Structure 1
């Protein structure tokens, strides 16, 4: 199917899959998902809002994009998130990579893949839903 504006169509599809507003900037689509993170370390607990940054670069009709995510996770959330990601019906592509930065009481997970953005978004949305994100 040929559409009049494939980038806007892609942005709408990503908005629906990730259940969040998207911003189109040239050949880049940006998505920010906000969540509250509660860190309990000993007696005090800290609650703050953090963004999950998701970008889709080199958006072109029917082509793979460079998909990136930066997400903060609690140590207890990491296994559940990765399990949902890995066990999704849509398998991870061969070029998928991630890097984990561990700080006290919180992990920062950086993920990247080169694949169709819809595949990436659907898989990521399922992993985020596993955390009630």
Structure 2
């Protein structure tokens, strides 16, 4: 049986059409036990780790493991063949914690904007 870090391994991910804008994350689900909707992982967003680092991407994916849904925020590296492969670096967030996670990220964006660390509208 694969562990969470191994889920999705072997699946080729292309960095050619990376979206630089983050997609809205879905609202929280009341049930965390999943049977059908996440039979396959659903990629939500993919973006470069930084403007200067074009070998690593951050990928947000909705997945299920042993019937429990979660958001996987994973760092991917580019291997010698040019394929994007998952690393052990990442965090998983269960569906019950997803609204709190999103609220925390929103607060971080607002604070970074307030401090002048990012430009534009929030």
**TM-score for the superposition, normalised by structure 2:** 0.27
**TM-score for the superposition, normalised by structure 1:** 0.25
Give the strand-richer structure, 1 or 2.
Answer: 1
